[in-house]
């Protein structure tokens, strides 16, 4: 089917106003927000519901045209933007914004793939409930995209990644058939768990259209503390102590360089009178005020000497103020360059050594900014000022070292296009063969996100 004919059919399926072919209108769907990953879409299609998503996929399947599903386009590994050849139809799920009734007895809610995370939080929190996954991109990131990438974020230490918080899914296969696993029953041992399979599949197996989400009661009390520490090893030690608290929900770290950049870019006042090598942002939450147990833990003989300074916040504006020092890293780094972003997991026991060895590994080829989710050993290695000619070698050096110490080359951002050629570093040949078989079974014509995760290969 030629391009014009496909556009005509897609327009009939979703309405002409929702098929974008004008380069100016397509542009924001063709580039990620860092500007590192850009491409060209054949067109952008914006269906309103599952039936329209299925119709779009049926049409593209009949035409043999590849489709790239896209949520809030906050991904950082190029999985949400089309390739350079202008072949793919970008399938934006942002109009699927339905939020079903809160079901407090089942502790569930059903949402459309296009619901932004912050919107869901706004609906739930005043009613005493919460969707436990939270991340800095909450205003733009959509539930569908978070499910596709198994997003992690800031509260994994207590609640796990997105996978642990999704009970059921509805998704559309590349031929337009609809998989309905939305019931999300607490007990259901009827064969392969298709929901778990689709979470984290990065749009390569099916297009998520709706999700049944697990909810948690929203703790009434919170205490946040920003700790100044002498080293990353000290931060790991303090975290080990704080992990004994059931109320611990968040443990995020950053360094002196990152804080200096955030202060410079944001104009925020410095949190302490002097700079310190490492900072640990922690938050405890509970039905009772957790501030006392947090203070006691920080005053314990085993951590007292490690904590050089501390700022505590109890009310929401103050807590947001402390969180901003960590959450504004991404935008501050973007403001001064286009970073090479390597999101990795390193086992906690070797994290301090890994970080200490990074300068030698980078050999002056990059200006690193390090921050991340400490409890999971999830390090965001953000590299500025990398010459184009050095990008591949620097990436290889860091990711090979991650593999050598038993880590993962992607902690929470996925593989996307950016890391597809490095997948073999932390997944075995047998793993990759099984993944390719699953891809072939669900999407035999390789029409869904064809260059993501498992590009065509041997």
- Interface characters, 282-321, with ligand MLT (x: CB under 6 A): ----------------------------------------
Question: Is residue 419 at the binding interface for ligand MLT, with CB under 6 A as the rule?
Answer: no
Of 129 and 253, CB closest to ligand MLT: 253
Q: Coil, strand or helix: which one is 222?
A: strand
Question: Is residue 136 at the binding interface for ligand MLT, with CB under 6 A as the rule?
Answer: yes
On whether the CB atoms of residues 161 and 152 are closer than 8 A, the answer is yes
Question: Is residue 451 at the binding interface for ligand MLT, with CB under 6 A as the rule?
Answer: no
Q: Which of 250, 242, 256, 255 is nearest to 298 (CA)?
A: 242
Q: Closest approach of Cβ 418 to ligand MLT, in Å?
A: 13
On whether the CB atoms of residues 88 and 63 are closer than 8 A, the answer is no
On whether the CB atoms of residues 36 and 383 are closer than 8 A, the answer is no
Of 131 and 254, CB closest to ligand MLT: 254
Q: Coil, strand or helix: which one is 238?
A: helix
Task: List binders of ligand MLT among 326-355 (CB under 6 A).
Answer: 330, 343
Interface residue with ligand MLT among 37, 380, 422, 451 (CB under 6 A) is 380
Question: Is residue 141 at the binding interface for ligand MLT, with CB under 6 A as the rule?
Answer: no
Nearest residue to ligand MLT by CB is 330
DSSP-derived secondary structure letter, 177: P
Q: Closest approach of Cβ 278 to ligand MLT, in Å?
A: 16
Q: Closest approach of Cβ 82 to ligand MLT, in Å?
A: 22
Label the pairing between strands 378-384 and 340-345.
antiparallel
Of 18 and 138, CB closest to ligand MLT: 138
DSSP-derived secondary structure letter, 31: B
Q: Which of 373, 380, 307 is nearest to 340 (CA)?
A: 380
Of 76 and 215, CB closest to ligand MLT: 76
On whether the CB atoms of residues 258 and 280 are closer than 8 A, the answer is no
Task: List binders of ligand MLT among 62-81 (CB under 6 A).
Answer: none
Q: Closest approach of Cβ 362 to ligand MLT, in Å?
A: 18
Q: Closest approach of Cβ 378 to ligand MLT, in Å?
A: 8
Question: Is residue 423 at the binding interface for ligand MLT, with CB under 6 A as the rule?
Answer: no
Assigned token pair, 454: 């498992």
On whether the CB atoms of residues 49 and 70 are closer than 8 A, the answer is no
Binding residues with ligand MLT: total (CB under 6 A): 4
Q: Closest approach of Cβ 159 to ligand MLT, in Å?
A: 15
CA distance 164 to 326: 24
Q: Which of 52, 54, 83 is nearest to 68 (CA)?
A: 83
Of 135 and 447, CB closest to ligand MLT: 135
Q: Closest approach of Cβ 20 to ligand MLT, in Å?
A: 27
Q: Which of 193, 197, 172, 173 is nearest to 183 (CA)?
A: 193
Is residue 457 packed enough to be buried (19+ CB in 10 Å), middle (13-18) or exposed (0-12)?
exposed
Q: Which residues bind ligand MLT (CB under 6 A)?
A: 136, 330, 343, 380
């Amino acid at each position: 089917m030629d391009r014009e004919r496909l556009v005509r059919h897609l327009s009939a399926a979703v309405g002409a106003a929702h098929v974008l072919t004008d380069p100016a209108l397509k542009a924001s769907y063709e580039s990620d927000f860092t500007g590192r990953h850009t491409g060209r879409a054949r067109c952008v299609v914006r269906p309103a519901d599952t039936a329209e998503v299925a119709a779009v996929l049926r049409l593209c399947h009949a035409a043999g045209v590849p489709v790239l599903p896209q949520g809030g386009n906050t991904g950082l590994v190029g999985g949400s933007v089309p390739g350079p050849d202008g072949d793919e139809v970008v399938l934006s799920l942002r109009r699927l914004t339905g939020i079903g009734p809160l079901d407090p007895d089942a502790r569930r809610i059903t949402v459309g793939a296009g619901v932004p995370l912050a919107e869901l939080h706004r609906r739930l929190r005043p009613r005493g409930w919460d969707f436990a996954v939270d991340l800095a991109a909450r205003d733009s990131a959509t539930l569908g995209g978070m499910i596709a990438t198994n997003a992690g974020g800031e509260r994994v230490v207590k609640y796990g990644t997105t996978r642990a918080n999704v009970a059921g899914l509805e998704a559309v296969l590349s031929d337009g058939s609809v998989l309905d696993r939305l019931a999300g029953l607490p007990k259901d041992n009827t064969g392969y768990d298709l929901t778990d399979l689709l979470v984290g599949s990065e749009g390569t197996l099916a297009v998520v259209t709706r999700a049944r989400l697990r909810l948690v009661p929203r703790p009434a009390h919170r205490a946040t503390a920003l700790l100044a520490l002498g080293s990353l090893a000290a931060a790991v030690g303090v975290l080990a102590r704080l992990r004994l608290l059931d109320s611990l929900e968040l443990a995020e770290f950053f360094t002196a360089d990152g804080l200096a950049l955030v202060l410079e870019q944001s104009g925020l006042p410095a949190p302490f009178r002097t700079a310190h090598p490492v900072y640990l942002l922690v938050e405890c939450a509970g039905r009772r005020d957790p501030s006392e147990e947090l203070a006691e833990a920080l005053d314990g003989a085993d951590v007292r000497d490690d904590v050089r300074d501390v700022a505590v916040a109890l009310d929401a504006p103050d807590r947001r103020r402390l969180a901003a020092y960590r959450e504004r890293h991404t935008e501050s780094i973007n403001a001064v360059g286009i970073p090479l972003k390597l999101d990795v997991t390193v086992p906690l026991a070797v994290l301090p050594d890994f970080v200490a060895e990074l300068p030698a590994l980078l050999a002056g080829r990059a200006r690193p900014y390090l921050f991340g989710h400490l409890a999971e050993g999830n390090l965001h290695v953000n590299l500025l000022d990398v010459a184009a000619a050095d990008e591949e070698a620097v990436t290889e050096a860091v990711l090979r070292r991650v593999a050598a110490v038993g880590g993962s080359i992607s902690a929470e951002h996925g593989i996307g296009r950016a890391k597809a050629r490095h997948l073999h570093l932390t997944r075995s040949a047998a793993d990759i063969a099984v993944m390719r078989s699953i891809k072939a079974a669900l999407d035999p014509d390789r029409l869904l996100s064809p260059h993501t995760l498992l590009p065509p290969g041997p």
